[in-house]
Copies of this chain bind each other. A is one copy, B any other.
Amino acid sequence: MSEIIELARRARVASYALAEASRATKDAALHAMAAALRENTDTIVAANAKDVATAREAGTPESTVDRLALNPARVDGMAAGLEQLAGLTDPVGEVVRGYTLPNGLELRQVRVPFGVVGIIYEARPNVTADAAGICLKSGNAVLLRGSSSAAASNEAIIAVLRDAAESTGLPADVVQGVPTDRAAVKELMQARGLVDVLIPRGGAGLIQTVVGESSVPVIETGVGNCHVYIDADADLDLGLEILLNSKTQRPSVCNAAESLLVHSAVASEFLARALPALAAAGVTVHGDPTVVAASKNTSAATDADERGVVAATEEDFGTEYNSLDLSAAVVESLEDAVQHIRRYSSGHTEAIITRSQAAARRFTQAVDSAAVVVNASTRFTDGGEFGFGAEIGISTQKLHARGPMGLPEMTSTKYIVIGEGQIRT
């Protein structure tokens, strides 16, 4: 038997105990895991230092090294995350719906754990504790397949978490690490029936690989080519503030805006204000011909503004930059904005800025993305902001879960049917 099959079978056995564990047991385990992380800070930071040294030797970019690096404050943050999970409602056992059938059968649809969840992620060791905690709270045994560049860190963290879980009476195998070699991840993706769902967390490349190669059901997360549309009836002050916030408040994340659409009726007025403001914020605008022309015609244009606007290619409109870049186009109507979004969006988050009730209603109806926002920043599409308390990722697929995934999205359901001898006739 291969190592992955063996790990998955052990996870399955552990999942039976975990599925029946009470909230009190699971919360005690989360607190024990948090305390153990804090107690073992030195060991974890020392293991992480090896990964960081290896990464630096390999010439890894410093931004990647920063995501990889742990210090006592970051370990404390991981522990605090687990404690926060302990405070959240247990999704398992929630009655989603229930009623009595005409024949007297009592029907209840209740939330149950998936069973075994695989998480495939990149070189961010904090995800190890975070994903383990979310899976444990939702009653799922987890197989954690992190990056080889974080192998020492993850090994240290997983050892601590397993011991802590076991100390509270849960099987250690509720949390297991998966070897980081390519063969192992391929096997994990083919373990249909043994692994109930795979969740890739990371960049578009990782997600596309998992989606393309996995026979285990996958939940896609996190690719966001988000749009801000300034309607003909927009409050332009409010539009500018929301655009700047959506683009620049944290440009590296999936709910940051990547594309601006402006209705032609307000384009010259809005662009005359927005282009200098974007340039001042360090944003490079990849504009369609109208936007490029606007940048030149603006009487107030300075050299800095012109430097901030370049001609967009077709590819720009489909790009998730994750940087201080923004594609921009002028559209003739709200319908054209909808068409543009249907063509280019990744289905994450789109915002309309308008004072018109009809325009807001039309946009929210016609745009089919995980989140459709009226008069607010795209940056709110987030499990924390939505009040979920925890988030395993933001689903951009339509099956099972769409948008921020909290604890309930980490469960399946089953029907419990109680009778007193009913048969079908």
Please list the residues of chain A having a beta carbon within 8 angstroms of any beta carbon in chain B: 16, 19-20, 99, 101-102, 105, 107, 109, 112, 114-115, 192, 196-197, 211-212, 215, 217, 219, 235, 238, 241-242, 245-246, 249-250, 342, 360, 364-366, 368-377, 379-381, 385-387, 397-400, 402-403, 412-425
> A415–B381 contact, CB under 8 A?
yes
Residues of B within 8 A of A417 (CB): 371-374, 376, 380-381
> A368–B414 contact, CB under 8 A?
yes
Among all A-B residue pairs, the 7 with the closest Cβ atoms: A376-B419, A245-B423, A398-B412, A400-B400, A376-B422, A379-B424, A371-B415
- With both chains docked as a complex, state the minimum distance between the C-beta of A239 and any C-beta of chain B, in angstroms: 9
- Copies of this chain in its oligomeric complex: 2
Measured in the bound complex, the distance between the Cα atoms of B368 and A413 in whole Å is 9
Residues of B within 8 A of A250 (CB): 424
> B424–A249 contact, CB under 8 A?
yes
Query: Given contacts A99-B387, A101-B387, A415-B386, is CB(A423)–CB(B372) below 8 Å?
Result: no
> A420–B20 contact, CB under 8 A?
no
- With both chains docked as a complex, state the minimum distance between the C-beta of A379 and any C-beta of chain B, in angstroms: 4
Q: Which of B196, B242, B421 contacts A375 (CB 8 A)?
A: B421
Name the CB-closest residue of B to A421.
Answer: B238
Measured in the bound complex, the distance between the Cα atoms of B415 and A249 in whole Å is 22
Measured in the bound complex, the distance between the Cα atoms of B250 and A79 in whole Å is 55
Measured in the bound complex, the distance between the Cα atoms of B420 and A374 in whole Å is 8
Residues of B within 8 A of A212 (CB): 215
Most buried by B among A192, A246, A399: A399
- With both chains docked as a complex, state the minimum distance between the C-beta of A83 and any C-beta of chain B, in angstroms: 21
Residues of B within 8 A of A374 (CB): 416-419
> A421–B242 contact, CB under 8 A?
yes
Residues of B within 8 A of A398 (CB): 114-115, 196-197, 217, 412
